[in-house]
Amino acid sequence: MPRIRNWQDLKLYRVDTDTKYQHIDALFSETVDWDLIERHWQDLMQLTLSIQTGALSSPLLLRRFGAASPKNRLSLAAEELGKVIRTIFLLEWIGSGELRQEITATTNKVESYNGFAKWFSFGGDVLPVNDPDEQQKRLRYNDLMASAAILQNTVDMMQALRAMVKEGIPVNPPDIAFLSPYLTSNLSALANTSLTSNVSRAGFATACSRGRPILSGGPNAMPDIETPYGVVDADALQSLQQRYDTLGLR
């Protein structure tokens, strides 16, 4: 669900001209053309099924609607239905503080990842190629770099937490919920690197292989924790080790 900015500038549509609301009537400025939606409902459902089955993509449909004549009845019917859906969503968004918090938290998480991935992008935000396949490859390479850094950051943080527990430093689960894997201060985008087929297990592998994860049983055990970035559980490091083994790197 999207985060709504400047929602006060958006129009809310009432069911009909005779409908009045006791406290929020001033928010509504126009009415919905239900007859137009009903006449083209079958066509709208066919478009929905085409998108769900993959026969038609959403971006292509939006481009067609954008290039359609202002008098295109199907385009007008889709726009009218969109007014209904947006009005319902805005009313739910205005009336629910939990929904607003959920949307804001989810959007912040996505924006944090996008900013983190952007850090790995060289040469600016604009892709200097028009080939869709090449554009997709570059985006995937960028995601791969970001995912690898997130994996390393996660293991580094888990290793640091384990060291704190070993030294007797209290580790509070509510504090872990605020940790983020989107760190760049420990990374160097211009570092000299080399690739080798003889990859050592030193690094994050040693954090997963010997010893128990910091969230395992014992006097310092901690429960599973729901964080903005997922659930941290006692098998986290072991799962990383297993994933590393499947890569066949030695």
Which is nearest to 208 in space by CA: 178, 249, 176, 245?
A: 245
Residue 208, pLDDT > 80, answer no
- Between CA 149 and CA 204 the distance in angstroms is 11
Give pLDDT, residue 40. 93
Contact predicate 28/13, CB 8 Å: yes
Catalogue the E-assigned strands of 142-236. Answer: 225-227, 230-232
Contact predicate 8/24, CB 8 Å: no
Burial readout 132-161 (b: 16 or more C-beta within 10 A, e: otherwise): eeeeeebeeebeeebeebbebbbbbbbbeb
Give pLDDT, residue 38. 93
Give pLDDT, residue 246. 57
Contact predicate 154/179, CB 8 Å: no
Residue 206, pLDDT > 50, answer no
Contact predicate 215/222, CB 8 Å: yes
Give pLDDT, residue 245. 54
Give pLDDT, residue 39. 93
- Between CA 157 and CA 181 the distance in angstroms is 8
Give pLDDT, residue 29. 85
Q: What is the DSSP letter of 211?
A: S
Pairing of β 28-31 and β 230-232: unpaired
pTM over 0.85: no
Mean per-residue pLDDT, 29-55? 91
Coil, strand or helix: which one is 59?
A: helix
pLDDT in tens, 99-109: 888 888 888 88
